[in-house]
Amino acid sequence: MNVLLTGITGNLGFEIARSLNKKGVDIFPVVRNRESLDGLGLDFKHAIETDLTKEIPSIELSRVDCIIHSAGNVHFKKSGDSNSKMMQSVIQIAKKHKVPIYYVSTAFLWREPGSTERLRNSYETDKAESERILQDSGVPHTIFRPSVLVGNSESGQLINWSGYYLLVAKFLEASGVAGGSKIRFPILTGTSNMVPVNQAAEIISETVINNTLDKLVYVTNPKPPEAQWVLDVTLEFFELKEKFEFLDIGFSEYEKLGKTQAEEILYLSGKHFSPYWSLPYNFPKSALGKNLISEEYIKKTLKSFRDANNISTV
């Protein structure tokens, strides 16, 4: 089986490539720079170097069975239309080779039936437009909607420390700025829908190998942990929990408080990330069968994050 894969230098794309590679699938990665493949530790017969936001590459392969499109601009405020531009290019490739597309979108496009809630930022808007373009293209496809992707469940590692780990870094930064002063922060409500990246990659690779099409697949945690519990375990790992005073107020009320420099750091980061790590609603039924986010797992992935970034809490 030959698979054209975008986004291999991203966390999920890399794990998808690893999973498919173990199953004997030949991966043909599409990258902006071939040198970005050097540190991945995977062998490829052929790589396509191009920028999908600017051009449609001419791909001459004897056989392509499908495209997995996992590349994406995940900048919440500045994604613009880069995701939809990439989708237009990928669709043209699929039409040329007469193959289906397996698209990695985001679970955060979900809204409860009857909800009038708008999309939260340019990233969600662009992802929604990408899905619409694909659905209107006539190309056979399946769409995956993963939630917050975190470290490999076996090693705790990621190739890019994004998402949850950016928030962890902000809590560490705020703790350093605060010195001996307490930092006020709202008690988190809802759950954190976190999924180990390899768990998500495995269900995606199985779907592709089984040639399952015309599906909308939620790759989310079937029993997500409480958001405050995740934060407590995180702060305890770095021995920082005693530095925080948790207030029984909402984030909108926290916004109105006169804040210290440390609190302002958390407010500025939290106002962008809070919808994604403290969710008040449930996603549709997940394709995953098990919650892997245990205290042991969180400590494992935080240790990998700490060691990879040479973080000291002394």
Do 168 and 121 share a domain, yes or no?
Answer: no
Angle at CA of residue 288, ends 285 and 289, nearest 5°: 95
Do 109 and 184 share a domain, yes or no?
Answer: no
Do 136 and 8 share a domain, yes or no?
Answer: yes
Angle at CA of residue 115, ends 112 and 120, nearest 5°: 90
- Of 111, 146, 181, the last residue of a domain is 146
Nearest to residue 230, comparing CAs of 181, 281, 173, 163? Answer: 163
Asked if residue 34 belongs to a domain, the reply is yes
pTM of the model: 0.93
The residue whose two tokens read 């929990």 is 241
Do 168 and 299 share a domain, yes or no?
Answer: yes
Does residue 238 carry a pLDDT above 90? yes
Do 97 and 124 share a domain, yes or no?
Answer: yes
- Under 8 Å between Cβ of 157 and 308: yes
Residue 224 to residues 119, 196, 297: CA-CA distances in angstroms? 22, 12, 14
CA 293, 296, 298, 299: dihedral to nearest 10 degrees? 180
The residue whose two tokens read 């399952």 is 212
Asked if residue 313 belongs to a domain, the reply is no
Q: How confident is the model at residue 245 (pLDDT cuts 50, 70, 90)?
A: very high
- Of 115, 146, 177, the last residue of a domain is 146
Distance CA(85)–CA(102), nearest Å, equals: 16
Do 123 and 88 share a domain, yes or no?
Answer: yes
Tally the domains of the chain.
2
* pLDDT score recorded for residue 48: 84
- Under 8 Å between Cβ of 241 and 232: yes
CA 31, 32, 34, 36: dihedral to nearest 10 degrees? -90
Do 80 and 170 share a domain, yes or no?
Answer: no
Do 173 and 112 share a domain, yes or no?
Answer: no
pLDDT digits (tens, 9 = 90+) for 252-285: 899 899 999 999 999 988 877 766 776 666 899 9
Asked if residue 208 belongs to a domain, the reply is no
Asked if residue 215 belongs to a domain, the reply is no
Q: Percent of the chain having pLDDT more than 70?
A: 93
DSSP 8-state assignment for residue 278: S
Do 140 and 175 share a domain, yes or no?
Answer: no
pLDDT digits (tens, 9 = 90+) for 284-296: 999 999 999 999 9
Distance CA(314)–CA(301), nearest Å, equals: 20
pLDDT digits (tens, 9 = 90+) for 59-99: 666 678 999 999 987 665 566 788 999 999 999 999 999 99
> DSSP H helical segments within the chain, as ranges?
11-22, 82-97, 122-137, 164-178, 197-209, 227-237, 251-256, 261-277, 295-308
Residue 188 to residues 15, 37, 181, 185, 248: CA-CA distances in angstroms? 30, 39, 21, 9, 9
Asked if residue 90 belongs to a domain, the reply is yes
Distance CA(76)–CA(82), nearest Å, equals: 12
What domain range includes position 70?
2-146
Q: Is 162 exposed, middle or buried (0-12, 13-18, 19+ CB in 10 A)?
A: middle
Does residue 227 carry a pLDDT above 70? yes
Asked if residue 151 belongs to a domain, the reply is no
Do 73 and 186 share a domain, yes or no?
Answer: no
Do 124 and 17 share a domain, yes or no?
Answer: yes
3-state secondary structure of 183: strand
Distance CA(57)–CA(13), nearest Å, equals: 19
Asked if residue 78 belongs to a domain, the reply is yes
Q: How confident is the model at residue 120 (pLDDT cuts 50, 70, 90)?
A: confident
Beta-carbon contacts of residue 112 (< 8 Å; ≥ 6 apart): 281
- Of 146, 179, 211, the last residue of a domain is 146
Distance CA(45)–CA(37), nearest Å, equals: 12
Does residue 169 carry a pLDDT above 80? yes
Distance CA(14)–CA(5), nearest Å, equals: 10
Nearest to residue 12, comparing CAs of 103, 117, 136? Answer: 103
Asked if residue 258 belongs to a domain, the reply is yes
Do 21 and 134 share a domain, yes or no?
Answer: yes
Q: Tokens representing 258?
A: 């006169």
Distance CA(44)–CA(168), nearest Å, equals: 35
CATH number of residue 18's parent domain: 3.40.50.720
